[in-house]
Amino acid sequence: MRVYDIIAKKRDGYSLSPNEIEALIKGYVDGTIPDYQIAAWAMAVFFQGMDEEEIKALTHQMIISGDSIDLSEIEGIKVDKHSTGGVGDTTTLVLGPIVAAGGIPVAKMSGRGLGHTGGTIDKLESIPGFHVELTNEQFIKQVNEIKLAVIGQTANLVPADKKLYGLRDVTATVNSMPLIASSIMSKKIAAGANAIILDVKTGNGAFLKDLDEAIELAKVMVNLGDNFNRDTIAIITNMNQPLGWAVGNSLEVEEAIMTLQGKGPEDLTKLCLELAAHMFVLGKKTSEFAKGLELAEEMLYGGKALAKFAEFIKAQGGDATVIDNLEILPQAKHMQKITSLHSGYIESIETQEIGRAAMLLGAGRSKQEDIVELGVGIMIRKKIGDQVTKDDILAEIYYNEDEKAQKVIPIIQAAYSFTKEIINKPPLILKTIN
């Protein structure tokens, strides 16, 4: 089997056999197939796509390229969540406590990652004392005892994806439905959960700008989950503006705590409740979505989720008094209000630009070795549909260096578009696929 022939076959629109996909991925991981052949193949996949059997075979090869986590010692149905990313997405910190409080074991492996802000681990580590250096035994014991634990991604999970994603990232082949689906799902499946809820973002702050593409990706992933015996549900959510108010690390922890106190932003709250409801169904805590939603609301508004968050922080060495003392979180040196240059209704927000602004302030990493400034970021104060007059406050920026602040102020101002017409608040949850 020549690699050349496999590339040409895909280029010409034919389906690859499981053996051909196995040869490609194994050869790539063991270094016998060079980057340039895989780059050409990935671009051919970008144009020609893959059918269900190919995606399944690719996902399988990705999974078996490394270790799989065994969560069988954790009692109950393990439900994992994945979001396809966006700007200001604080769901994990809110959702975990809600579903754990409702009895779903949440055994979360997380990373630091690249992006507008740090990863879930960076955010959690902004809580004084909090650490993710647990042994596997400690991790499993903690989940069994309090239903919620977060550990750093230390295992050799899906090395094929690491290598392939790195290559796609520099060859403009990231945005390929089958490659995205297999990348996400291989990691979720290798991470050992029994069921998976997917939050697929669409809009100008998501990598899938187009609703139809998001729906297609969600369908492919749900199908893939089923193929690997993982109960999978996907919701498509609106990322045409940042989710919630906060874009930053300790700012998002503050927002999460406020949300768990029942006084968080409406959209973030709604999304967390919706995701939790699906997780209760997937985890067989409730038989239907409406009951799941009731349970989620009970956990959130009854205070059990907040108590669970405190319990979780304490279990991992953190200062749980943070839930009443937000000021113990890392703070930026300065804050500046950003005012509107126009009057009218907010018609749109260039969400990627908000993300870029947060990155420029120092909230995220563009390279692995970058150091995240935990206290910096943006608080969005006006969103789509809000009426503003000139000089109203659109947002606040939290920053350490004035130079950086001066750079982002015009970016944030330019990200907002206004109209004289009344604009309805856009719907948050666009579709559910299961």
User: What is the C-alpha to C-alpha distance for residues 64 and 162, in angstroms, rounded to an integer?
Assistant: 13
7 is a contact residue toward a second copy (CB under 8 A): yes
Q: Tell me the two tokens of residue 3.
A: 């690699």
Considering only residues 143 through 172, tell me which ones interact with a second copy, judged by CB under 8 A.
167, 170-172
4 is a contact residue toward a second copy (CB under 8 A): yes
Region binding a second copy by CB under 8 A among candidate stretches 1-9, 114-122, 245-253, 400-408: 1-9
By CB under 8 A, name the one of 16, 38, 310, 329 that touches a second copy: 38
Helices and strands (DSSP H and E) totals, the chain: 16, 13
By CB under 8 A, name the one of 34, 159, 302, 410 that touches a second copy: 34
Helix (H) / strand (E) containing 169: helix 159-170
177 is a contact residue toward a second copy (CB under 8 A): no
Q: Tell me the two tokens of residue 236.
A: 């498509």
Q: Tell me the two tokens of residue 209.
A: 């700008």
393 is a contact residue toward a second copy (CB under 8 A): no
431 is catalytic: no
Report which of 54, 7, 55, 14 is spatially closest to residue 33, judged by C-alpha positions: 7
- Which residue reads 């089958």 in tokens? 178
Amino acid at 297: E
Report which of 3, 205, 160, 199 is spatially closest to residue 68, judged by C-alpha positions: 160
By CB under 8 A, name the one of 21, 40, 121, 363 that touches a second copy: 40
Closer residue to a second copy, CB minimum distance, 38 or 361: 38
For the chain, state the CA radius of gyration: 22
DSSP, collapsed to helix, strand or coil, labels residue 256 as: helix
47 is a contact residue toward a second copy (CB under 8 A): yes
Amino acid at 338: I
By CB under 8 A, name the one of 15, 17, 37, 144 that touches a second copy: 37
**Residue 18 CA to chain centroid, in angstroms?**
30
359 is a contact residue toward a second copy (CB under 8 A): no
Closer residue to a second copy, CB minimum distance, 35 or 297: 35
82 is catalytic: yes
62 is a contact residue toward a second copy (CB under 8 A): no
161 is catalytic: yes
Among 126, 183, 186, 340, which one carries the catalytic annotation? 183
Q: What angle separates helix 91-101 from helix 250-260, to the nearest 10 degrees?
A: 40
12 is catalytic: no
Phi first, then psi: give them for residue 159, nearest 5 degrees: -60, -30
By CB under 8 A, name the one of 16, 42, 260, 275 that touches a second copy: 42
23 is a contact residue toward a second copy (CB under 8 A): no
How many residues form the binding site for a second copy (CB under 8 A)? 22
Closer residue to a second copy, CB minimum distance, 47 or 75: 47
Cβ of 44: how many Cβ atoms within 10 Å?
Answer: 20
14 is a contact residue toward a second copy (CB under 8 A): no
Considering only residues 178 through 237, tell me which ones interact with a second copy, judged by CB under 8 A.
none
Region binding a second copy by CB under 8 A among candidate stretches 38-46, 106-114, 134-142, 178-186: 38-46
User: What is the C-alpha to C-alpha distance for residues 267 and 244, in angstroms, rounded to an integer?
Assistant: 6
User: What is the C-alpha to C-alpha distance for residues 75 and 91, in angstroms, rounded to an integer?
Assistant: 24
What ranges make up the beta strands (E) of 281-389?
A: 334-339, 344-349, 377-380, 387-388
173 is a contact residue toward a second copy (CB under 8 A): yes
User: What is the C-alpha to C-alpha distance for residues 26 and 63, in angstroms, rounded to an integer?
Assistant: 11
Among 168, 201, 278, 285, which one carries the catalytic annotation? 168
User: What is the C-alpha to C-alpha distance for residues 306 and 185, in angstroms, rounded to an integer?
Assistant: 30
46 is a contact residue toward a second copy (CB under 8 A): yes
Region binding a second copy by CB under 8 A among candidate stretches 4-12, 362-370, 398-406, 413-421: 4-12
Residue 37: CB minimum distance to a second copy, A: 6
43 is a contact residue toward a second copy (CB under 8 A): yes
Q: Looking at the DSSP assignment, which residues form a beta bridge with residue 130?
A: none
24 is a contact residue toward a second copy (CB under 8 A): no
| Contact set with a second copy (CB under 8 A) | 3-4, 7-8, 11, 34-40, 42-44, 46-47, 167, 170-173
Residues designated as active site: 82, 161, 168, 183, 187
